[in-house]
Amino acid sequence: MDWLAEEDETDTELVVSTEHCNILIVDDEEDVHATTILTMKRFMFEGKSMRFFSAHSALEAKQILKQERRFSLILLDVVMETENAGLDLAKYIRQDLKNRFTRIILRTGQPGVAPEHSVIRDFDIDGYKSKTELRKQDLESSFYTSLRAYRDICQLQKHREILEQVIDSIANISQIGDLLNFAAAVLAQIELVLNLSTTKMLIESSETFAISQMEDRLNMFSANANVVHVLEHSDINHLPDHERDLFLKALKVKHNFHEGRYYVYYHHSDRGYDTIFAFETKQPLENAEIRMIDLFLRNVLLSYENLLLVNAFEETQELAITLMGGTMESHSKETGAHVVRVGLYAMHLAKLNGETAYFCERIRLAAQLHDVGKVGVPDSILKKEDKFTAQEWAEMQLHVNKGWDILQGLDNSIIKMASNLVVDHHEKWDGSGYPNGKKQLEISLEGRITAIADVFDALCSKRCYKDPWTLEQARQEILNGSGKHFDPQLTTLFIDNFSVFSEIYQQNPD
């Protein structure tokens, strides 16, 4: 064929390459397959050799295209088993297979069958060539143009996928409220994000860590040998030497840097807190990889800082609640350990009842305020060792109403729960309790749970008016109150899991 006149007929071996560009030739003329392959067999694109596949009809091409293999370029004959077989195949590739990446060059011996402008417009192809015009230089030019377009389209798609993964990773991580799970998620996602952006494995799993300095505390999470640790230090000298040195350098230079085998990302927040994230790499990161990892870490470390602030707030809130509850108990010559134990009993009983982790954690704190209203009861009654008079008992019962009044109007989920259990924890299942004579499910769940927790611990504890009961005596008393004083379902859970509650009592002594 005259369009192959410039082909070198020397039969040398093909250039060996570890990577290939897959090229599909679709043509019903066997000579076209042979001569195209012969012409382009030594062609290289960015270090990649060409690997050719042949189909002699549109139907055969469809079978090949259904396989997992990706093609960079398709050289497609227009007229095969039908006059429009090639055009129909181009439509099938774009619309049915939804393949917008593979580049398509139409080749025909009958150019008048399909005008060039309408084909390019309607079928998203990259070229329309006449076989009589296609010499080696034409093929090489077409290959360069099409393979560059395929490369650029794939890179854009890869960047889009990476960006989606980064955004998705950030969204998922930002929803985690537990530091240990947060750290594990960050360490898993950081490797995924990096390895999405490159064909090279960048992270050594031997060490990855983050350090955040917030006021006078150092918070840190790290992974060594795939084990995640969450730590807190008050002295920077307690950090391992290399971690301390990287942190101090980041505080000094105030930007990201490579140091030996580590890449260190530095973040300074608007609140004035400093955080670094460091990990080992096999080789320095490229600029594109640095931009991607910086985007990821900038958002992740904002979430990390917010999580630390939330944790600090929750610690402060818990301390305030425990101190408040303990203060009320010590006012009545009971101990702060009593309110802590009541909170723990309530939390575990709620877990056994199938309540959510959120509910269980709230009731652990809220139950510590069950007797907050005792602050309004005179000492002469609270500390009396003899039996109350009718008037004194009536005054003592008012502590639930006083506790309700103290806690009402505070817009906090824990305090709202506390106000419910404060007013309900002396109600009884049979309706004989106080202050409102509620019965059964009229009593709030938190009130029913706290009733068991409070009575059990009060029975086991020494009071000014009594000696402590044994654990077995207290257990029997709770059992005797089932269906009368206590919710029978909760009582069954308490009795069936009594070892849990006796262990809490023994591990939190007065």
Please list the active-site residues.
374
**Pair 396, 377: CB distance under 8 Å:** yes
Work out the number of other CB atoms within 10 angstroms of the CB of residue 482.
18
Query: Mapping DSSP to helix (H, G, I), strand (E, B) and coil, where does residue 310 land?
Result: helix
Which one, of 200, 218, 400, 425, lies nearest residue 308 by Cα?
A: 218
SS3 string, 330-348, reads HHCCCCHHHHHHHHHHHHH
Classify residue 412 by its DSSP letter.
-
Q: Is 356 exposed, middle or buried (0-12, 13-18, 19+ CB in 10 A)?
A: exposed
User: For the range 199-203, what are the long-range contacts, defined as Cβ-Cβ under 8 Å and sequence gap of 24 or more?
Assistant: 200/282, 200/283, 201/282, 202/281, 202/282, 202/283, 202/285, 202/289, 203/279, 203/280, 203/281
Q: Residue 273 and residue 264: Cα distance in Å, rounded?
A: 16
Bridge partners of 24, per DSSP, are 53, 74
How is 189-253 classified by DSSP, letter by letter? HHHHHHHHS-SS--EEEEEEEEEEEETTEEEEEEEETTEEEEEEES-GGGS-HHHHHHHHHHHHH
> 192-217 burial by CB neighbour count: b if 16+ within 10 A, else e?
ebbebbeeeebbeeebbbbbbbbeee
**Pair 148, 19: CB distance under 8 Å:** no
Tokens encoding 138: 């034409």
Q: Residue 307 and residue 302: Cα distance in Å, rounded?
A: 9
> 142-168 burial by CB neighbour count: b if 16+ within 10 A, else e?
bbeebbeebbeeeeeeeeeebbebbee
Query: Mapping DSSP to helix (H, G, I), strand (E, B) and coil, where does residue 7 land?
Result: coil
> 466-475 burial by CB neighbour count: b if 16+ within 10 A, else e?
eeebebeebb
Whether cis (ω within 30° of 0) applies to the bond prior to 284 is no
Q: Residue 485 and residue 382: Cα distance in Å, rounded?
A: 23
